[in-house]
Structures are given as structure tokens and as C-alpha cells.
Chain A
Amino acid sequence: MAIKRSRTKGVLIGLLGWAIAIWIFFPLFWMFITGFKSEVDAISTPPHLIFKPTLESYNEVFERANYWHFTINTVVISVVATGVALLLAIPAAYSMAFAPTARTRATLLWMLSTRMLPPVGVLVPIYLIARNTHLLDTLTGLAIVDMLTNLPIVVWMLYTFFREVPMPILEAGRMDGANRWQEITVVLLPLALPGIASTALLSLILCWNEAFWSLNLTSSNAAPLAAFIASFSSPEGLFFGKLSAASTLAVAPILIFGWISQKQLVRGLTFGAVK
């Protein structure tokens, strides 16, 4: 009896779990299938769940909207910002993890606090600086800003991963006569590779989805996907099929990254406070 009741309960919990999951995921599912509808099907009322799939919208996104231009911008900005952030953060995190001083803790907290700077608070000067240095609507300009906003998180994440590398292994390398450069590249980096990879992944996701600076510092030349998609908010956006196809393409890579790496992302997003 007891077993039977708990089984019914289990089934009910399962049904509830699935119902909520489907409800939350539904808009994304709908976006995905709308991308394969013709524009006529996409705005039919009531909406069709059964329809003849077509690649019409995708073709149009590729041909007319110059999708590749915006994708390449996104990839270049995200990769450059992440790469430069790692180059600056790896030595910094190394020195804080393995040669901590009395001020290390304060430095870490201070770095984190720069992330709390609300972007709108400094919108005006950043916009004017970008304009006066001709960095407005350039890949370099947005990559620099993305790099700076992510740098504190990258340092923090690397710091938490580096601290898990056992000191004796580094010391052994040192005994064998490795200099600091070799100690980092030959001993530390291979050991911390998984941590560095998930740090890079988190940074890529944040850059890929960044919208505030993208909308305000770029117009067409350097616009990444996040800004390109916003252009569909004009009446032109009533092309639901095209909007859905473009959005699916913009979201899919990061969604898949996110699904694969959810566990590691939790650490990065909470600076290791939740494990």
C-alpha cells in the first residue's frame, strides 16, 4: 500500500515537473518551429502546429539580412574579449593564488566590486570616449568594453580553480629549476585546463549575449547578433518566420554550450559561493 501510494506520488511529481518544464521552454520551441514556417503559416490564426516545413526564412536571413556579417562580428568580439581577458587574468590569478599577500583578499573584493558598476551609470562618458577615439561602432571598441566588464569574473573564476591545484606540484616544478614562465605554462596551465576552459566558456556566453553596450556603442558595422536581432523590433519585425530563423541561429550555439556546461557555470556565476 505504502509503496503503491509513493509510486502515484512519483508519477504526479513527474507530470508536474514535465508540465512546468514544457511551459517554460515553450516560447523557445515555438521560435524554433516558426523559423521553418512560411511567412503565411507563421501569422496564421489560430497558429498551426502542423505545417509544411520550409527553409524559406532561413534562406532569406542568409541572403538578405547579411546574417554572416553579424555572426562574424559576434564571434570576433567574444573571442577577442575572452582571449585578452584570459591573458590579463591568468598571471593575476596565478600570483593571487600562489603568492598571496595581506592585500590579496581586498584586491579580489575590489575587482568584484567594479563589476557592480551599473553600465548606465557610465554610459555617457564611455559613449563620448568611444566617439572621440573613433572606437564607436568598431569591433575593437566593443571588444574592449566586453573584455573590461568580464575581466573581474574571469580573474575570480581562475583564482578559485587555481587554488585547487596542489602547491606541492608547483613546488616540485620549481625544484626542478622551472622558472616562473615555465611554472605557469608547463605545470599550472595543463593542470588547470578544465577550469580555464569553463572560465572561457562563461566569458564567451556573457559576451555573446551582451546587449546594453552592443545596442549603444554599435550601429551596423560592428553590430553583434544581440543588436542585429533588436532591429526586428521595427515594423519589419512582423516577418515572424525571418525573426524566428534569425533568433534561432543567434541563440542555438550558446544554448548548446549552456546545456553542456551548466555545472561549471554555477561556480562561475556565483564566484564559487555555491558548489
Chain B
Amino acid sequence: MHATTTVRPKRSAGFALLSPAVLILLVWSIVPLLLTLWYSFRNYNLVDPTLQGFAGINNYWYLLTDPDFLQSLLNTLILVVGVLAISVGGGTLLAVLYDQDFFGRGIARVLVISPFFVMPTVSALLWKNLMLHPIYGVYSSMMRAVGLTPIDWLQRFPMATIMMIVAWEWLPFAVLILLTAVQSLDSEQKEAARMDGAGAIAQFRYIILPHLSRAITVVVMIETIYLLTIFAEISVTTAGGPGVASTNLAFLIYSRALLQFDVGGASAGGVIAIVIANIVAAFLVRAVARNLEA
């Protein structure tokens, strides 16, 4: 009895502890994936049961030749690239700014990272109604105060406005991560550079930026994963409109599946979304794997 407790068959016991989590994740990651793939090759409409049978590559063909689909891909790209540019560029500068010592810095930092903790539906409505509403919005009043005519941002520039709202949510994430990374930089190293006569810009370029590279990779990868499938912000502000002007891939799939009940077509879109996300994920997993060695 005593012998079995000290010299334990590590492997099998470890497997018993590990397997529930692994099995449940295996089911979760494989079953919906296979179903999506299966539906994507079928005629399947929730309101028209006569539509059934094998569709071959028709669903894909219709999707890939649909101008709405191409528009949604373009919008997805605009959203991802735009928000990444704002949050990584702005986040790096703000991380350096909030690393400086000034009065009430701790409170200022807390204010800056706050939007990250706000649920997407709240931030969408907050911007749509309280800030950007063409009549009652604060920003509209400011425009009137300086003699400009307020415009309905979400109608006139839907993608740019949604990009701005999403950037407001994700810039704080970048600041949170990058600030932590900046703070982990040796102050001695910075001191030495200053002694050598490096100016603020040279210090930023040759010491801070290289030090931040890993953190920036992490921010880019994590934000990309989330930004590829932004949904709530679009659903609440423009519902993809006007027309399909602000429809991204996620919203297109949603509207095909749950508004038009075209399960086959929506699934084909889903497969494409999964393929795109996997390409991105391959890079992320590699970046994290490198870190795992340490």
C-alpha cells in the first residue's frame, strides 16, 4: 500500500486527471466543425424542408461569386487592419507615455484601460446614442459649437465609425499589455543608454521597441482573433447596413443563417471563416510556443 503511494504510476494517473478536460474540448472542437463542413455541402434551409440533398460546391460557388460576400471580406479586412494600426501604434506610444512619472499617473492609467472591461453591446450603444447621435450626441453638440453641421456618422461612414468604436475598446487592451512590457524593461539599461547620449527618440527606437516586440506580437495575434469575428458592435449599431456597407464576414454568416435560414450557405461562410482564422492562429500558436521553451 505504502509503496504504491510513493512510487506512483505517474503516466496513467496523470491521464485520468487530464482526460475529462481533453475529451470535452475534443468534442467541442470537432463535432461543430464536422457539422459545419457537412452542412456546407448540403442544400439546407430551415423554412423550406423541400430543399435538401447534396449541393456539391454550389454553396461555395454562390458565396464566392456574391458581391455581398466580397464586400464583407473587404469590411472584415478594414476592421482588422484599421483597429490593429490604431491599437498597436497608439498603444505603444501610450505605453511609453504612461511609463513616465507624473502626478496621478496610477489613476490616469486606470481610466485609460477602462473601456476594455466594457461589454461590447454597451460600448456600441454608448457611442451610437450618447456620443455620435446626430441630434443628441455630445460630439454632435461639440461640432455645432464650433459652427460645423453634425453628421450621422453611422449612416455616412459606417465602417470607419465602427472601426473607431472597436478601436476604443481594443486600444486599452494594447496599452494594458504593452505598459506591462515597458515596465519590465531594466531601468539600468535605459540609464546606460542615456549616459551614452541617446536621445528620447533613439532610446525608443533602439531599446524600447525591440524590447516590446514579443508583447506587440501577442497583442496583434490576440486582437486579430477577436477582430476577425466582431459581431455585437455591428449588430447593435448598423445591423450591417446601409445595404451591406458595414457587413463583415461574421455578420454575413449570422444573417444568412438566422435571418435568411440558409444553413448551407451560412455554413460555407463558416468554413471560410475557420480557414482564415486558422491561418492567423498558426502564427499565434507558434509565437506562444516559442515562449513556452523559456
- A: which residues have CB within 8 A of B? 10-11, 13-14, 16-18, 20-22, 24-25, 27-28, 30-31, 34, 42-43, 45-47, 88-89, 91-92, 94-96, 99, 101, 105, 107-109, 111-129, 148, 151-152, 155, 174-175, 177, 179-180, 205, 208-209, 211-212, 215-216, 225-227, 229-230, 232-233, 237-238, 240, 243-244, 247, 250-251, 254-255, 257-259, 262-263, 265-266, 269-275
A216 to B107, CA, bound (A): 37
Expressed in whole angstroms, the Cα–Cα distance for A31 and B127 within the complex equals 10
The 0/1 profile, CB within 8 Å of A marked 1, for residues 114-148 of chain B is 11111111111111111100011010010011000
Does A151 lie within 8 Å of B128, measured CB to CB? no
Q: How far is the CB of B161 from chain A (nearest CB, A)?
A: 14
Within 8 A of A (CB), among B229-271: 229, 231-232, 235-237, 249-250, 253-254, 257-258, 263, 266-267, 269-271
What are 7 sample pairs from A and B whose C-beta atoms fall under 8 A apart? A14-B102, A112-B288, A116-B284, A117-B33, A122-B33, A233-B235, A240-B130
Which B residues lie at the A interface, using CB under 8 A?
Answer: 2, 5-6, 8, 10-11, 13-15, 17-18, 20-22, 24-25, 28-29, 31-33, 35-36, 39, 94, 97-98, 100-105, 107-131, 135-136, 138, 141, 144-145, 168, 171-173, 176-177, 180-181, 184, 214-215, 218, 222, 225, 228-229, 231-232, 235-237, 249-250, 253-254, 257-258, 263, 266-267, 269-271, 273-274, 276-278, 280-281, 284-285, 287-289, 291-292
Q: If the complex has contacts A107-B18, A269-B173, are A229 and B119 also in contact, measured as CB distance less than 8 A?
A: yes
User: Do A175 and B270 contact each other (CB < 8 Å), given the known contacts A259-B110, A270-B222?
Assistant: no
CB distance from B260 to the nearest CB of A (A): 12
**Is B130 in contact with A211, judged by CB distance below 8 angstroms?**
no
* B-side contacts of A148, CB under 8 Å: 24-25, 28
Q: Closest 7 CB pairs between A and B?
A: A14-B102, A116-B281, A125-B35, A122-B32, A211-B232, A91-B17, A258-B117
A27 and B103 within 8 A (CB): no
Taking a contact as CB atoms under 8 Å apart, the answer to whether A28 and B273 are in contact is no
In Å, the complex CA distance between A257 and B267 comes to 38
- List the A side residues contacting B5 at CB < 8 Å: 174, 177, 179
CA distance A43 to B284 in the complex (A): 46
B181 adjacent to A274 (CB under 8 Å)? yes
Contacts A118-B228, A177-B2 given; does A18 touch B108 at CB 8 Å: yes
**With A and B bound together, what is the CA distance between A269 and B117 in angstroms?**
13
B115 A28 Cβ-Cβ under 8 A: yes
Contacts of A24 in B (CB 8 A): 111-112, 114-115, 168, 171-172
> In the complex where A34-B130, A216-B254 touch, is A124 in contact with B285 (Cβ < 8 A)?
no
CB-based contact B6/A212 at 8 Å? no
The reply to whether A269 and B20 form a contact with Cβ atoms under 8 Å apart is: no
Q: A91-B17, A116-B277, A120-B250 are in contact. Are A152 and B25 (CB under 8 A)?
A: yes
